[in-house]
Structure 1
Amino acid sequence: MSANQPLPHPPLEGSARVWGTIALSAATFMNVLDTSIANVSLPAIAGDLGVSPNQGTWVITSFAVANAIAVPLTGWLSLRIGQVKLFVSSVILFVIASWMCGLAPNMTTLIAFRALQGFVAGPMIPLSQTLLLASYPRAQAGLAMAMWSMTTLVAPVMGPLLGGWITDNISWSWIFYINIPVGIAAAFSTLAIYRKRESRTLQLPIDKMGLAVLVLWVGSLQVMLDLGKEYDWFSSKTIVTLAIVAVLGFAFFLVWELTEEHPVVDLRLFARRNFWGGTVAISVAYGLFFGNVVLLPLWLQQFMGYTATEAGMVMAPVGLMALVLSPVVGKTLAKVDPRKYATFAFIVFALVLWMRSNFNTQADFRTLLIPTVIQGVAMAFFFIPLTTITLSGLPPDRIPSASGLSNFVRITAGAMGTSIATTLWERRAALHHAQLVEHITLGDPVAQATMLGLNAAGLTQEQALMQVNNLVTQQAFMLAANDIFYLSAALFLLLIPLVWLTHPQRSAAGAEAAAGAH
């Protein structure tokens, strides 16, 4: 423990602990929900505000960029302001930003308020975990994180379903307005329960250069990832420029932060084997997971004829097994090596993705649903053990910094995973399309029979060829999705040795898990 750090507060008891857990979890749920709730509402928002759907994606990107910048600042801000004050302030500012988003008269204003919303949301997840851990005895910390993680497992599933329903039945503005009552209740409950449990503050000087360079390189990277597909990646000068700025900015940021006396981000944490091993494992795995979570509904809606609601129903059961098993993981984590749980999770993820790599265009709803349900098992054994490993052995005063930094790397990996998965999908589809077309010749009996059948159904030669091309395109994108599912399964298995490079402290296992899911 740091010499500047007072003795920790005793755990909360009885109803105070219950209400504290509910208040912190509600704020977290609201935060995580907002990362996905706007996705399905983009066409309605873009139409109402008179912009193209492509421009509408900035509603998502502006939130992500600002959030990615704010998350690693959590440690420094909590030392300046205090953990409780910073958390409550973040929640109240989030409510105000949500209200302003709902009132936004045009896209420019909405993007600005979404960026504000993302920035003030940054400290909420790391601090909710830190405050929750301080509320429970060390022996029950694994259970505390399991209870907390349930909200982060349900929210991403609820987001698209709730956002779609609100947009269809009320108005897109209400996807932001629903945060107001939840946020106000969470802020006042947290203040009432935790106001006498404030952490000690230190008047550390602000690392202005570090902050400026962080904003520069993270912003450049996120915008590059968002625009890459639209601009055909590195064939565009804009993307090349953004990449150069991101790489040079990152290099300068590393040198500056490692030599700065009061860095805005504590990069020295990466000197700890548990921290860098756990962070890399959880971030790469999350990037693979998130890329596939985005890819599956895209394939279902664009090439399998599913509506947004039906695609959401295929994805929704992912939380069922996670909700059932998370408390079991939390209760047993102090007795079981977290590396074993993480290994099991990666094997299950690999199994799920291998099952999906065998999908074809005839796959029915039940076939699609089975891997989704099984994936919930992997999620339960994934987040809590890996974050326990990541923060194992850290003194309490470094947990907010470590949690913020680990979450930042994970969020960035998720954005990269999405861009890489969708780009690879389109490129592999183009390759498969070219290979499939090679087999369709006038001398091919199957092609001849298909054309004759379409002509007999009343289609002209041109219409029949277009129909055949549509079928080839559908098959090409299915094969491309299979490729990515198979590659992702292999990568999950390759992550297992990385987990076993770490050496979590068994006595603290479960007591120091503070970075967590989503």
Structure 2
Amino acid sequence: MAASAAISGSPKAGMPAAKPAQVSRRRTFAFFCMVFGMFMAILDIQIVSASLAEIQAGLSASSEEISWVQTSYLIAEVIMIPLSGTLSRVLSTRWMFVIASGGFTFMSLMCATATNIDQMIVYRALQGFIGGGMIPTVFASAFTVFPPEKRPVISPLIGLVATLAPTIGPTLGGYLTDLMSWHWLFLVNIVPGIFVTVSTYLLVDFDEPNFELFKSFDWAGLGFMAAFLGSLEYVLEEGPLNDWFQDGMVLFLTVVCVVGGVSFFYRAFTAKHPIVDLRAFADRNFLAGSSFSFVMGIGLYGLTYLYPLYLGHVRGYSSLQIGETMFVSGACMFLMAPVAGILSRKLDPRVMMGIGFAAFAAGTWMMSGMTKDWDFWELFVPQILRGVGLMICMVPINNIALGTLPPERIKNASGLYNLTRNLGGAVGLALINTIVNNRMDLHLQRLREHVTWGSSTAVETLNAMTMNFQSLGSDASQAALRTLSNMVRREALVMSYADVFLLLTVLFVGLIFALPFIKKPRAAPAGGGGGH
């Protein structure tokens, strides 16, 4: 394999150490511009999450329709991510990224000008589809443009962006909406997007296009992949909210997903030039890295979803307050990035992953004891542990998955690798919503068994509430009953959130025990390039 020589061990005794490969400043700057474009694309997944109520009011949308502002983006992005490997080989990294960043910027402008929910959904889908091509292109460039001795710097950088962007999305979105308006969630992309597009066009020269590949382009495979991934994302997003197969659309798209999936995998293994080359999964390290990336997607997107839910529904926080509270994890990731780079030089990646999973599990374990009164300071340490855990995990996972593949397979493999993280997030959100709904029903039933007329505590509480509402006259008893009922529902909701955090703890502890089964990757050569 071509990678074997590049990732061999230390120089033999008596031989001078090889001079670290140099990367021109032009290429380095071009790569950093691409990283910033990827940051915007990932940020836009979650930037709307804390501001959906304001967008709903501005577009006069229903509560069912507004969720599609996020869902349409995710569905479209998850289709583009694996497709980007083929398009990048056809068009070249330069033109692939110019089209992706330019299209993403234009569709951001269109989202800001949307006057109704239908326009917004279409623009968001196009924004996610076009912009999704930036994400795997950056990962592929990191492992093809830079030599192995540079990876202790480059890998933490892309790991930081991949985890930091969705984490600070609610924070930035909350600030923009509170200080200006929801339109600035999209307008904020315009100037940086133009800069990234122009600089990429002028500076990127990593490879050449291969238009011959268009002649054997697998259009049928593309259609099957779009049907499979698009319907899968819809089912995972909407299923928990609509009693799964009780909803006609969820049932129909489940059938589409199964048929599309079977057809896609058949094409992938029989077509001469498949739309996505699945042979990368034959590499043991890539398979292991992608599997861990899938689980990290559950933790990354799941907790970015759970924290705002608790703060908004239980604590009654505004979008700005939610953003300020969620900022802790983002700050920790930023501070941990150079530490993760240093550790990646000194520690076995399996040890790093073990430390990261342990930190993550410790944070979710603490959250499993949450109550309705938990505030910023109760969430402070769990968020620190989450930020530290994510950053320490992502660097070795990236290196294990992509660091030992030959250069000609990295573009395609990068799309598959990033897809696993997004699918992990989608599966995680579906499981979290299903667990919250089911456990809340169970906790409500158990709490109601205690909140009855036979319970002296319940009766005393109800009487005290009735006295407080006496200014309402004859409606005092009804107001007291409604308040008590809302208290019971709130407690059941908090208990169901705690159950999800406990299950996440079990999941990440289980990952620690799976680490010994990973094959230790071959060490990168020692060199001084990483720090320059």
State the TM-score, normalizing by the size of structure 2: 0.89
1 CA distance for matches of 2:108 and 2:465?
53
Alignment match of 2:100 (pick from 90, 95, 109): 90
Q: Note the C-alpha offset of 1:262.
A: 0.5
Alignment match of 1:219 (pick from 224, 227, 230): 230
Instruction: Give RMSD over aligned pairs.
Output: 2.4
Aligned to 1:516: none
8 Å contact 2:171–2:322 — kept in the other structure? no
For the pair 1:101 / 2:111, whether they are aligned, the reply is yes
Alpha carbons of structure 1 residues 296 and 170: separation in structure 2 relative to 1, 3 Å: closer
Q: Kindly provide the CA deviation profile for residues 339-370 of structure 1, in whole angstroms up to 9, marking residues without a partner as x.
A: 11111111111111000001112323211222
Aligned to 2:442: 431
Alignment gaps of 5+ in structure 2: 4-20, 471-475, 528-532
2 CA distance for matches of 1:164 and 1:54?
21
Aligned to 1:175: 185
Aligned to 1:201: 210
Alignment match of 1:506 (pick from 515, 522, 528): 522
Alignment match of 1:288 (pick from 299, 311, 319): 299
Aligned to 1:374: 385
Aligned to 1:514: none
2 CA distance for matches of 1:461 and 1:230?
33
Give 1:465-484 correspondences, 5 Å limit.
465-484=481-500
Q: Note the C-alpha offset of 1:187.
A: 2.0
8 Å contact 2:166–2:301 — kept in the other structure? no
Aligned to 1:443: 454
Alignment gaps of 5+ in structure 1: 4-9, 512-518
For the pair 1:210 / 2:221, whether they are aligned, the reply is yes
Q: Identify the range of structure 1 (60-69 vs 127-136) with the bigger mean alpha-carbon deviation.
A: 127-136
For the pair 1:309 / 2:320, whether they are aligned, the reply is yes
User: Amino acid of the residue matched to residue 406 of structure 1?
Assistant: Y
Alignment match of 1:228 (pick from 239, 250, 255): 239
Alpha carbons of structure 1 residues 394 and 500: separation in structure 2 relative to 1, 3 Å: same
2 CA distance for matches of 1:339 and 1:199?
36
Alpha carbons of structure 1 residues 378 and 52: separation in structure 2 relative to 1, 3 Å: same
For the pair 1:120 / 2:136, whether they are aligned, the reply is no
Alignment match of 1:346 (pick from 347, 357, 375): 357
2 CA distance for matches of 1:402 and 1:489?
30
Identity percentage of aligned residues: 33
8 Å contact 2:221–2:275 — kept in the other structure? yes
8 Å contact 1:334–1:506 — kept in the other structure? no
Q: Note the C-alpha offset of 1:210.
A: 0.7
Secondary structure of the corresponding residue to residue 506 of structure 1: coil
User: Amino acid of the residue matched to residue 497 of structure 2?
Assistant: A
Alpha carbons of structure 1 residues 246 and 172: separation in structure 2 relative to 1, 3 Å: same
2 CA distance for matches of 1:368 and 1:275?
35
State the TM-score, normalizing by the size of structure 1: 0.91
1 CA distance for matches of 2:78 and 2:147?
31
Secondary structure of the corresponding residue to residue 39 of structure 1: coil
Aligned to 1:383: 394
8 Å contact 1:87–1:127 — kept in the other structure? yes
Aligned to 1:29: 39
Count of aligned positions: 504
2 CA distance for matches of 1:50 and 1:445?
46
Q: Note the C-alpha offset of 1:129.
A: 2.6
2 CA distance for matches of 1:169 and 1:133?
40
User: Amino acid of the residue matched to residue 261 of structure 1?
Assistant: K
2 CA distance for matches of 1:501 and 1:130?
26
Q: Note the C-alpha offset of 1:167.
A: 2.8
Q: Note the C-alpha offset of 1:226.
A: 2.7
1 CA distance for matches of 2:126 and 2:469?
57
Q: Kindly provide the CA deviation profile for residues 389-440 of structure 1, in whole angstroms up to 9, marking residues without a partner as x.
A: 1124210111111110111121122012112212211221111011011012
Q: Note the C-alpha offset of 1:276.
A: 1.6
User: Amino acid of the residue matched to residue 237 of structure 2?
Assistant: D
Q: Identify the range of structure 1 (83-92 vs 459-468) with the bigger mean alpha-carbon deviation.
A: 459-468
Q: Note the C-alpha offset of 1:21.
A: 4.3
8 Å contact 1:257–1:267 — kept in the other structure? yes
2 CA distance for matches of 1:498 and 1:171?
46
